[in-house]
């Protein structure tokens, strides 16, 4: 089978992950259980999720000229993600996420670093790879004008785009219109949309599942029951897998079911990328029903 061509335009972060028994209260100091430094970033996570599922993936983004930048580039190579369109920004740190894991959930603070330098003019030189894609994935940890510029390029060339509006930020009316699918979680859906765009909304609802509109009515695909180690990156796994499934020609409901299963598997291991599955693992969990 031909490998789908997916291009991810977005953030690349190093995740500083601390696990604790409970979240600290304001002004409180508590002891943590474990600390790890691991690759992350919504863009990078989505790229790696798609690559593990057999797609031919190009990542467009930037890292800093620090040691984290080298680690992040090596990680893409190890995961067979094409890095021709990732460069290093001089005198700038790589993007970073401070993550606290507790109570089967997370709290995250991001510092943009090199991700803030993913500008429209930086994208311009990668236009040929964008317009040669079967699907493009965008998230919101790079500047708004870049997201809007990418949507414009895709719309002009008829390239379908999944927009994952995380963290929540508004786009122009025209840009939302140019998105093929919009994939907020339940909180982002509430923050950003009323009734608009509901036909293209695919809403990830954590342990409840994923909902979308079919024949004018909301349909919920329930989540799989799994042991949760770390939910970080579950949404990113969903998006990467959804793009792969759509690019392979699956109809919307089947693509949602495939991505929902991939996301369920992803929470079984520590780190945003730790539990991201291969295609066979997803097919196995889907076959079990
Ligand atoms: O979606 C999870 C990701 O959000 C983490 O990897 C972190 O880097 C933040 O971008």
User: Does ligand 1 come within 6 angstroms of the Cβ of 270?
Assistant: no
Which residues have CB under 8 Å from 56's CB, separation 6+? 3, 4, 5, 6, 82
Query: Whose CA is closest to atom 2 on ligand 1?
Result: 233
Interval between CA 215 and ligand 1 midpoint (Å): 34
CATH 1.25.40.10 fits 5-10+42-86+116-288, yes or no: no
Q: How many CA atoms lie within 13 A of 186 on its CB side?
A: 8
In ligand 1, the atom with minimum distance to the C-alpha of 166 is: 1
Q: List the chain domain ranges.
A: 5-10+42-86+116-288
Reported as a single tens digit per residue, the pLDDT across 84-95 is: 999 999 999 999
Given the structure tokens 């919920």, which residue do they identify? Answer: 220
Pocket test for ligand 1, best of 11, 39, 41 (most atoms within 8 A of CB): 41
pLDDT of residue 25: 96
Query: Whose CA is closest to atom 8 on ligand 1?
Result: 41
Model's pTM, two decimal places?
0.97
Separation CA 112–CA 44 (nearest Å): 14
Which residues have CB under 8 Å from 231's CB, separation 6+? 104, 105, 106, 206, 267
Interval between CA 272 and ligand 1 midpoint (Å): 7
Helices (H) and strands (E) in the chain, counts: 10, 13
Residue 259: C-alpha distances to residues 86, 92, 263 (Å): 26, 35, 6
pLDDT of residue 14: 98
pLDDT of residue 289: 74
Question: Nearest 5°: phi and psi at 6?
Answer: -115, 135
In ligand 1, the atom with minimum distance to the C-alpha of 95 is: 8
**In the predicted structure, residue 166 carries a pLDDT above the cut 90:** yes
β-pair type (56-64, 86-89): parallel
pLDDT of residue 196: 82
Reported as a single tens digit per residue, the pLDDT across 195-216 is: 888 899 999 999 999 999 998 9
CA angle, 173 then 217 then 238, to 5°: 65
Please give the average per-residue pLDDT across 139-149, as a whole number. 98
Neighbours of 174 (CB within 10 A): 11
> Which pair of structure tokens corresponds to residue 246?
């759509």
User: Does ligand 1 come within 6 angstroms of the Cβ of 164?
Assistant: no
Residue 89: C-alpha distances to residues 138, 183, 206 (Å): 21, 30, 35
């Amino acid at each position: 089978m031909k490998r789908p061509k997916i291009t991810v335009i977005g953030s690349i972060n190093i995740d500083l992950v601390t696990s604790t028994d409970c979240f600290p209260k304001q002004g409180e100091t508590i002891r943590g259980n474990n600390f790890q430094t691991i690759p992350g970033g919504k863009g990078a996570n989505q790229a790696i999720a798609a690559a593990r599922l057999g797609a031919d993936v190009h990542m467009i983004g930037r890292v800093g000229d620090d040691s984290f930048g080298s680690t992040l580039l090596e990680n893409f190579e190890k995961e067979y993600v094409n890095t021709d369109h990732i460069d290093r920004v001089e005198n700038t740190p790589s993007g970073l996420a401070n993550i606290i894991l507790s109570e089967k959930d997370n709290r995250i603070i991001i510092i943009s670093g090199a991700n803030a330098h993913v500008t429209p003019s930086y994208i311009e030189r990668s236009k040929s790879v964008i317009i040669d894609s079967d699907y493009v994935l965008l998230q919101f940890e790079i500047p708004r004008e870049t997201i809007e510029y990418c949507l414009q390029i895709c719309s002009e060339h008829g390239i379908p785009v999944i927009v994952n509006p995380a963290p929540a930020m508004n786009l122009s009316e025209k840009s939302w219109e140019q998105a093929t699918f919009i994939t907020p979680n339940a909180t982002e859906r509430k923050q950003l949309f009323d009734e608009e765009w509901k036909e293209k909304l695919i809403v990830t609802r954590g342990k409840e599942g994923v909902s979308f509109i079919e024949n004018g009515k909301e349909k919920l695909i329930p989540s799989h029951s799994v042991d949760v180690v770390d939910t970080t990156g579950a949404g990113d796994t969903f998006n990467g897998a959804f793009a792969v499934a759509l690019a392979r020609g699956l109809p919307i409901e089947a693509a949602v079911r495939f991505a929902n299963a991939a996301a369920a598997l992803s929470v079984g291991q520590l780190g945003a990328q730790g539990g991201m599955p291969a295609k066979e693992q997803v097919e196995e969990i889907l076959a079990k029903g």
